[in-house]
Amino acid sequence: MTTQLGGPVTRALPAPDNDEPPERNTGLTGRIVKIVLLGLVVAIAIWAAFPLVANEAWIGLGILVATTAVLLWLYLTPRHIPAKYLAPGTVLLIAFQIFPVLYTASTAFTNYGDGHRGNKDEAVVAIESASVTQVPGSLQYALSVATTGNPATGPLVFLITDPVSKQVSAGDADGLKKIDDATVSSSGKVTAADGYTILNAGQASLRSKEITDLAVPVDGGAIRSSGLSRAYEGKAGRAYDKACDCVRDTTTGKTWTADESLGAFVAADGERLAQGWKVGVGFSNFTRVVTDRSISGPFLSTLVWNFAFALGSTGGTFILGMLVALALHSKKVRGRNVYRLLLVLPYAMPAFAMLLVWRDMFNTDFGLINNLFGLHVNWMGETGTARLAVLLVQLWLGYPYMFLVTTGALQAIPAELSEASRIDGAGAWQSFRRIVLPLLMVALTPLLISSFAFNFNNFNAIYLTTEGGPFPADNPMNGATDLLITYTYRLAFGGSGAQYGYAAAISIFIFMIVGVVSAIAFRRTRAQEEVYA
Amino acid sequence: MKRWMKQVGWRHAVGLLAVAFSLGPILFVLSAAFNPLGTLSSSQLMPTGLSFGNFQKLLTDTDFPKWFLNSVVIAGVASAVSVFLSALAAYAFSRRRFRGRRVGLLSLLLIQMFPQFLAVVAIFLIFGTITDYWPSIGFNTWWGIILLYLGGALGVSTWLMKGFFDTVPRELDESATVDGASHVEIFFRILLPLVAPVLAVTGLLAFISTINEFVLANIFLTDSGSKTLSVGLWGLVAAEQRNTNFGIFCAGTLLTAIPTVLVFQMLQRYIVEGLTAGAVKG
C-alpha cells in the first residue's frame, strides 16, 4: 500500500498538483507583502555579512550568500510551490537541530572530552607550561592580574613589564602580547591599561587558584605567578622532542612517547600524561558499552529500568486518565465541566516547578507525605521507593493530558455502537472491551507512542527529582532511577571529567532504541498508511 | 439509592478521588506560598496563615519580574512563530504531492527522537561563535534563544497539523482554485480559519513546553537579568537554600502558572476538539 505512494504520485491524484501552473496574480497586497519580506531577508543577510567579512570567515560568508540566493530564487520563481512552504522551518531546523546533532554524532568517534580537547600542539604547550619551575636566575616581574571582562568571571590576563626594555605585555594561556597605553608605577607594576580591568587584592585572592594555574607560554618555559603580585619566568621541566616524538623530563630523563591512537603521551611503564589531544577512536566508544564489564552491567540495568519507566509512565497515565474519563463520560453526572476544570489544573502548573515541589514533598524529615501519613520513609534513599516516587510524580503530571485526550476521543465514538451491543446482550465490561477500547486505541495509539518516546528521554522527570539517585556505594556514576539520558548527561557534564565522545556514543544508542521501538509500534498500527494516504 | 450508586454514584466517587489527587500538591503549593514562615519544614497541606511576605520578597529580592517578562516574551514569540512555520509545512505535506514528501515526513519524526539536548555541547560552541560575530542574537538574548527554540518548530506538531489538514475536504481548495484563488490565498483565507482548533492546541503545547524548558535555557541564559522563570526559580531552591526559600519558590510557581492558565482560557473552546481530531481523522 505504502510502496505505491513512493513513486511519482503526482499524476495519480485528482488535484493537478504538479508544480507547473503559473502563479496567478495574487493582487497588489500580496505582491507588496512579498517584496517587503524578501527585502527583509536581503537586509538581514547584509547585516549578518559585515561581521563575517570583518573576521574573514569566508566559508560562513559563502553559506550565507548561497542560502540567501537560494531563498530569493525560490520565492521569485513560480515553480516549486511545496518548497516555498517548507523552506522557513527547514532552514531553522538545519541550523539549530540537524547540524548540532550531526556534530555531536561525529564526536562519538573521537575521544573528545576533558584532557582531549585541542590538537597535539596545544597539548604540548600545555604540558610544557604546566611543568615550569623556578630555577636560579629566573627573570622576576612585578605582576598585575587583570581581566578583559567581569572581575569575578572574566578571562584572566597577566600584565607585566620587562625589567630591561620596560615594554609592557599582557599574557594569557596563548602567549605574550605587547601593549601600549599602560601606566606603570616606579616599581614596574602596571596600574592601568587600556581595555583591561586590573583586579584589586580582594578580587584577585578570590580567584587565586586560577591565578596559580595560569601559565603564559614563552620560549623554553613559561611565566607563572608566585603569590598575587610577583611573577617569574621559569624553565620547562618537560620538553617536547620532535626527533623521538616524545616528551622528556629534563631532570629525570624519563620519556613519554606520543601514541596517536590514544591521543596521549604514554611512558614505557604505561603512565599517561593527563594532557592529551583529540583523535578519532573509531568504534571503541560503542564497543566499550558492550565489552567493559564495569560499564555493561550497570548499563543493562539502567536500560531495563528505562523501559520500565517509559512504559510505566505512559501506561499508568493512560489507564488512570481513561478510567476517570470513562467515569465522567455520562450525561447523568452533574458538574462535569467543574470536574474537568479541576482535573486539568495540574497540566497548567509549570511542570519543572512541580517536579521540584514533589521532590520536597518526598523529603524524609519535613516532607508533606511523611507528615501526612505519619511515616518516616527515606523515599529517595531506597531503590524501590525512589522508583515508586518518580512514577507517582509522572502519573500526577501526565494523567490530565490523557484524561483530556480520552474524553475527546470518547465523544467521537457514536453512542449507538455501545447501545447496540448492550441490546444484543453484552455486559458493560464486554461492551467496553469489545467496542469502546478498540476504537479508543485506534485514535490514541499515535499519541501513546509519542508519549512513550517522550518519557523514554524524560530528563527533567529524573534530574529535577532524584538526580538519578540513590547511588550504589561502589558506583557513583549510575544511580537506581537513572535513565540513559540522565546517565549520559552526567558522563558529558558531570563532576568527574567530561567524556563528550563516550556520551555522544550513548546518545546514538538511545536514538536507535527509541527509533526502533517507535518504528515497530507504528508498523503494528495502521497509523502509517493512514498518514500517507 | 442503590441503583443511583451503581449508575452515577461511582462516577462521582472516581471523579472526587481524582480531583483530590490532582489538587493535593497544588493546595500544598498554595499554603506554602502564603505561609508566613516561608520554610519547607513549616509548610503544611492546609494553609497555616495568610501572608504576602513570600510574594513581596520574590518581587523585591530577586529578578523575578524580569524572569517573568523574559519567559512570556520568549515562550509567546517562539510558540506563535513555530505554530505558523509548522502550519506552512503541514500545508505542503497535506495538500501537495512532491518528491521526498514521504522521506521528509519520516525524517521529521526521526530527528525528534535524537535526544536534542545532548547536542548542547555543539549548540554551546555554535552560539559561542554567534555571540562573537552577532552579539545581538548570541547568549543571554531573547533573539538567540528564540531562534534556538524555532529550530524545533517542525516536528510532532507538524504531524498533528497535517492530520488535521487532511480532514478538511480537498474539494474546498479545488473549487477555490477554479474560482481563481492562488495557493497562498487558499492557505490563508480558506485553510487557516478552518484548522483554528489545531493551531490553538499546538500553540498551547508549544507555549507550555517552552515555558518549562530548562536544560537549554540553563546553559544559554546566565545573566541574572536574562534568565527565564525555570532557570531563575531553579536557582532559588538549589543546594542549601532548599528549606529557607521554599515559600518564595512556591509563590513564584503560582505566578508562573498565570500565563499558562490565561493562554489555556483563551484557547479553551478549541482544546478538546483539537487535541484528538488530529489523531482521530474523520
Chain segment B148-204, per-residue pLDDT in tens: 899 888 877 888 788 778 878 888 888 888 988 888 888 888 888 888 888 888 888
Q: Contact, A463 vs A489, CB < 8 A?
A: yes
The C-alpha atoms of residue A3 and residue A11 are separated, in whole angstroms, by 16
In this structure, the answer to whether residues A125 and A235 fall within a common structural domain is yes
- A residues 52-111 closer than 8 Å to B (CB): 52, 55, 57, 60, 81-83, 85-86, 88-90, 92-93, 95-101, 103-104, 107
Q: Does A521 touch chain B (CB under 8 A)?
A: no
In a domain, A46, yes or no: yes
In this structure, the answer to whether residues A340 and A430 fall within a common structural domain is yes
Question: Nearest-CA distance from A435 to chain B in Å?
Answer: 16
The C-alpha atoms of residue A387 and residue A474 are separated, in whole angstroms, by 20
The closest alpha carbon to A179, from A192, A198, A163, A193, belongs to A193
Residue B83 confidence class, pLDDT cut points 50, 70, 90: very high
The pairing of beta strand A175-178 with beta strand A168-172: antiparallel
A144 to A141, A161, A171, A224, B2: CA distances (angstroms):
9, 10, 11, 12, 88
Chain segment B181-194, per-residue pLDDT in tens: 888 888 888 888 88
Nearest CA in chain A to B7: A332
- The percent of residues above 70 in pLDDT, for chain A, comes to 92
Q: Contact, B241 vs B40, CB < 8 A?
A: no
The answer, yes or no, to whether residue B50 has pLDDT greater than 50, is yes
Q: Please enumerate in sequence order all residues whose Cβ is within 8 A of that of A392, keeping only pairs 6 or more positions apart, or say none.
A: none
* Residues of chain A contacting B122 with CB distance shorter than 8 Å: 99-101, 103-104, 107
Q: Does A411 touch chain B (CB under 8 A)?
A: yes
The shortest CB-CB distance from B19 to any of A339, A511, A533 is to A339
In this structure, the answer to whether residues A30 and A167 fall within a common structural domain is no
In this structure, the answer to whether residues A65 and A142 fall within a common structural domain is no
The C-alpha atoms of residue A52 and residue A46 are separated, in whole angstroms, by 10
The shortest CB-CB distance from A360 to any of B14, B89, B242 is to B242
Q: What does the mean pLDDT of chain B come to?
A: 83
In a domain, A207, yes or no: yes
* Residues of chain A contacting B179 with CB distance shorter than 8 Å: none
Tell me: cis bond preceding A155? Omega within 30 of 0 counts: no
CB atoms B214 and A371 under 8 Å? no
Nearest CA in chain A to B173: A15
In a domain, A26, yes or no: yes
Residue B239: the pLDDT is 63
Query: What mean pLDDT comes out for the span A128-139?
Result: 75
CA-angle at B281, arms to B275 and B282, nearest 5°: 120
Chain segment A411-461, per-residue pLDDT in tens: 777 778 777 887 888 787 888 888 888 888 877 877 788 788 889 888 889
Query: What mean pLDDT comes out for the span A494-513?
Result: 79
Q: Does A26 touch chain B (CB under 8 A)?
A: yes
Question: Nearest-CA distance from A350 to chain B in Å?
Answer: 6
Nearest CA in chain A to B163: A531
Nearest CA in chain B to A113: B121
Domain extent for A200: 120-267
Name the more confident of A205 and A303.
A303
The answer, yes or no, to whether residue A407 has pLDDT greater than 70, is yes
> Which residues sit opposite A249 in a β-bridge?
A238
Q: What does the mean pLDDT of chain A come to?
A: 80
In this structure, the answer to whether residues A242 and A300 fall within a common structural domain is no
The C-alpha atoms of residue A31 and residue A22 are separated, in whole angstroms, by 15
> In degrees rounded to 5, what are phi and psi of residue A247?
-105, 130
CB atoms B8 and A99 under 8 Å? no
The C-alpha atoms of residue A393 and residue A465 are separated, in whole angstroms, by 9
* Residues of chain B contacting A85 with CB distance shorter than 8 Å: 88-89, 91-92, 96, 187
The shortest CB-CB distance from A350 to any of B105, B113, B211 is to B211
Residue A446 one-letter amino acid: P
Chain segment B231-277, per-residue pLDDT in tens: 888 888 876 666 778 888 899 999 998 888 888 888 777 765 555 55
In this structure, the answer to whether residues A322 and A439 fall within a common structural domain is yes
* Residues of chain A contacting B19 with CB distance shorter than 8 Å: 339, 342-343
Q: Which of A125-139, A147-161, A358-372, B76-90 has the highest mean pLDDT?
A: B76-90
The answer, yes or no, to whether residue A19 has pLDDT greater than 60, is no
Q: Give chain A's domain count.
A: 3
- B residues 101-140 closer than 8 Å to A (CB): 101-102, 104-105, 109-119, 121-123, 125-126, 132-134
The C-alpha atoms of residue A5 and residue A165 are separated, in whole angstroms, by 79
The shortest CB-CB distance from B279 to any of A347, A350, A446 is to A446
**ipTM score over 0.95, yes or no:** no
How would you label A430-463 residue by residue, b for 16+ Cβ within 10 Å and e otherwise? ebbeebbeebbebbbbbbbbbbbbbbbbbbbbbb
Name the more confident of A8 and B215.
B215
Q: Does A365 touch chain B (CB under 8 A)?
A: yes
Domains (ranges, CATH) in chain B? 52-280 (1.10.3720.10)
CATH number of the domain bearing residue A459: 1.10.3720.10
The shortest CB-CB distance from A350 to any of B10, B152, B256 is to B256
Residue B121: the pLDDT is 74
Residue A6: the pLDDT is 33
The C-alpha atoms of residue A428 and residue A532 are separated, in whole angstroms, by 36
* Residues of chain B contacting A332 with CB distance shorter than 8 Å: 7-8, 11
Q: Contact, A58 vs A88, CB < 8 A?
A: no
- B residues 239-258 closer than 8 Å to A (CB): 242-243, 246, 249-250, 252-253, 256-257
- B residues 165-204 closer than 8 Å to A (CB): 166, 170, 173-174, 180-185, 187
CB pairs under 8 A between A and B: 290
Chain segment A236-289, per-residue pLDDT in tens: 778 787 778 888 887 777 888 887 777 788 887 877 777 778 888 888 888 888
Name the more confident of B91 and A111.
B91
Q: Please enumerate in sequence order all residues whose Cβ is within 8 A of that of A128, keeping only pairs 6 or more positions apart, or say none.
A: A217, A221, A222, A236, A238, A239, A240
Query: What mean pLDDT comes out for the span A502-525?
Result: 80
Name the more confident of A526 and B113.
B113
In whole angstroms, what separates CA A104 from the centre of its chain? 9
pLDDT-wise least confident of A7-11, A496-500, B122-126, B179-183: A7-11
Residue A525 confidence class, pLDDT cut points 50, 70, 90: low
Q: Please enumerate in sequence order all residues whose Cβ is within 8 A of that of A471, keeping only pairs 6 or more positions apart, or say none.
A: A478, A479, A480
Query: What mean pLDDT comes out for the span A54-81?
Result: 89
The upper half-sphere exposure of residue B2, i.e. CA atoms within 13 Å in the direction of its Cβ, equals: 0
Q: Contact, A92 vs B106, CB < 8 A?
A: no
Which of these three, A73, A107, A141, is where a domain ends? A107
- The percent of residues above 90 in pLDDT, for chain A, comes to 12
- Interface residue of B5, B12, B16, B22 to substitute, partner A, most A CBs within 10 Å: B22
Question: Nearest-CA distance from A236 to chain B in Å?
Answer: 32
Residue A266 one-letter amino acid: V
Question: Nearest-CA distance from A306 to chain B in Å?
Answer: 14
CB atoms A464 and B214 under 8 Å? yes
The C-alpha atoms of residue A133 and residue A215 are separated, in whole angstroms, by 11
Q: Contact, A479 vs A471, CB < 8 A?
A: yes
CA-angle at B170, arms to B79 and B167, nearest 5°: 55
Question: Nearest-CA distance from B274 to chain A in Å?
Answer: 9
Q: Which pairs from B182-189 meet CB under 8 Å and 24+ separation? A: B182/A23, B182/A24, B182/A25, B182/A26, B182/A30, B183/A23, B183/A81, B184/A26, B184/A30, B185/A26, B185/A30, B187/A85, B187/B88, B187/B91
User: What's the CA dihedral at A304, A310, A311, A315 to 10 degrees?
Assistant: 160
In this structure, the answer to whether residues A261 and A315 fall within a common structural domain is no
In this structure, the answer to whether residues A330 and A409 fall within a common structural domain is yes
Quote the cell numbers at residue A195: 581595555
Q: Contact, B48 vs B42, CB < 8 A?
A: yes
In a domain, A275, yes or no: no
In this structure, the answer to whether residues A396 and A490 fall within a common structural domain is yes
> Which residues sit opposite A259 in a β-bridge?
A264
* Residues of chain B contacting A495 with CB distance shorter than 8 Å: none
DSSP state of A22: P
Nearest CA in chain A to B42: A366
* Residues of chain B contacting A15 with CB distance shorter than 8 Å: 95, 170, 173-174
In this structure, the answer to whether residues A243 and A341 fall within a common structural domain is no
Which of these three, A44, A79, A107, is where a domain ends? A107
The shortest CB-CB distance from A327 to any of B14, B121, B273 is to B14
CB atoms A531 and B105 under 8 Å? yes
- B residues 60-99 closer than 8 Å to A (CB): 85-86, 88-89, 91-92, 95-99
In this structure, the answer to whether residues A160 and A103 fall within a common structural domain is no
The answer, yes or no, to whether residue A531 has pLDDT greater than 60, is no
Q: Contact, A265 vs A256, CB < 8 A?
A: yes
* Residues of chain B contacting A521 with CB distance shorter than 8 Å: none
Quote the cell numbers at residue B189: 483565507
Which of these three, A251, A267, A283, is where a domain ends? A267
> Which residues sit opposite A240 in a β-bridge?
A247
The shortest CB-CB distance from A352 to any of B89, B147, B230 is to B230
Q: Does A191 touch chain B (CB under 8 A)?
A: no
Residue B241: the pLDDT is 67
Question: Nearest-CA distance from B277 to chain A in Å?
Answer: 8
Chain segment A311-344, per-residue pLDDT in tens: 999 999 999 999 999 888 877 888 888 888 888 8
DSSP state of A169: E
In this structure, the answer to whether residues A61 and A26 fall within a common structural domain is yes
